[in-house]
Amino acid sequence: MNQLKQLPIDSLYQYEPGSEQLLAPCFGQRRGEVRLFRGEQFTVIDTRFLAQPGSARWSHYNQRPLVELNFVLGGYLAQTHSGLLQRQAYVTGYHNCLFNPDSMEENELACDKAFQMLSIQLEPGEMMRLLMAYAPELETVAHKLAKRTPFVCQSPILDLPEPIKYALRTIWQSPSSPGLKQLHFDSVILRLLGYQFAQLLGTEQALAPAVLRRRETDKLYYARDLLLEQLSAPPRLSELAKACELNEFSLKKGFKELFGTPVFGFVLQQRMAAARIALTSGEKNISELAYELGYAHPQHFTRVFKKYTGVTPKTLKKS
């Protein structure tokens, strides 16, 4: 593997297929490193930040039409994709499948803890071939790729299943022979794609079209902001619709299209993301956190958290 190099993010795709690199892109005040493997039809990008003071913000234009599979292995990052995601919390256990060509991407690393995310980026043609070969039920997704229609499919649970964890843990344990190295990455990526295809089959309705009328989109973002400001006591659907000047049907339909989740599914998602960050950072005890997030009893919060994440708050706080 080559020595650590300083280079801009846009240069990640300049390497020949079969090459593995260790890079140090510029990420504001934060020291980061990127491990990269360039395949024939895909690129594996393992991004890490060390735990250190200071925030980092960076943005770039997604000119290349690539399908992203993102898996967050630790930390917290807020990511915005124009027309698709607005300050989405990339927290430990979050993973998605995303396609948003010809768009601006903004990232903010606000906390001083370590962060790691592994991303697999595929050429749309290769993704379409795999979809049609192995998951013809997802023909509508292939059509979106063919038409360059942006979409995002997000995991409803902030936890990586054990098969995904194992694949991510072993992805860099490849043979040194170029041919066997390529075979190793091909097999691991096919496994990860299989898990994502299964999720797409279960949540295809969550694929969010990017085209909504500008006025309606602005109102939906305002509705989202109101929910974020009032997570502990969110307004009723009728109150939220009145506040953002939409009828309830348009609010429910547009919100799910834009953010990939129903209105109160979004509230739960953000509550659980905030809870996970607070628990892992040790900022609050479980009772304080439960009341702050609007739960009358810590036991109710514990039941909801375990159902959503698969682990209890106490277990996460100890870890």
What CATH number is associated with residue 307?
1.10.10.60
Looking at the fold, whether 192 and 224 belong to one and the same domain comes out as no
The SS3 call for residue 303 is helix
CA torsion 18→23→27→28, rounded to 10°?
-150
Among residues 189, 206, 223, the one where a domain terminates is 206
Looking at the fold, whether 192 and 222 belong to one and the same domain comes out as no
Amino acid in position 73: L
Q: ∠ CA 247-252-257 to the nearest 5 degrees?
A: 125
Among residues 152, 171, 206, the one where a domain terminates is 206
Looking at the fold, whether 201 and 218 belong to one and the same domain comes out as no
Looking at the fold, whether 89 and 137 belong to one and the same domain comes out as yes
Looking at the fold, whether 174 and 76 belong to one and the same domain comes out as yes
Q: Count structural domains, the chain.
A: 2
Looking at the fold, whether 200 and 219 belong to one and the same domain comes out as no
Cα–Cα nearest to 39, from 105, 111, 99, 121:
121
- CATH number of the domain where residue 71 is located: 2.60.120.10
β-strand partners of 85: 81
Residues, the chain: 319
CB 42 within 8 A of CB 71: no
Among residues 162, 184, 206, the one where a domain terminates is 206
Q: What is the pLDDT along the chain (319 residues), one digit of tens a residue?
A: 444 444 455 566 677 888 888 887 666 666 778 899 998 889 999 998 876 666 677 787 888 889 999 999 988 888 888 888 888 888 888 899 999 888 888 888 866 778 899 999 999 999 999 888 888 878 888 888 999 999 988 876 777 877 888 889 999 998 888 888 888 999 899 889 888 777 666 644 334 444 456 678 778 888 888 888 888 888 999 999 999 889 999 899 888 877 778 898 888 888 888 787 777 777 678 888 888 888 888 888 888 888 877 778 887 765 5
- Which structural domain, as residue segments, surrounds residue 53? 5-206
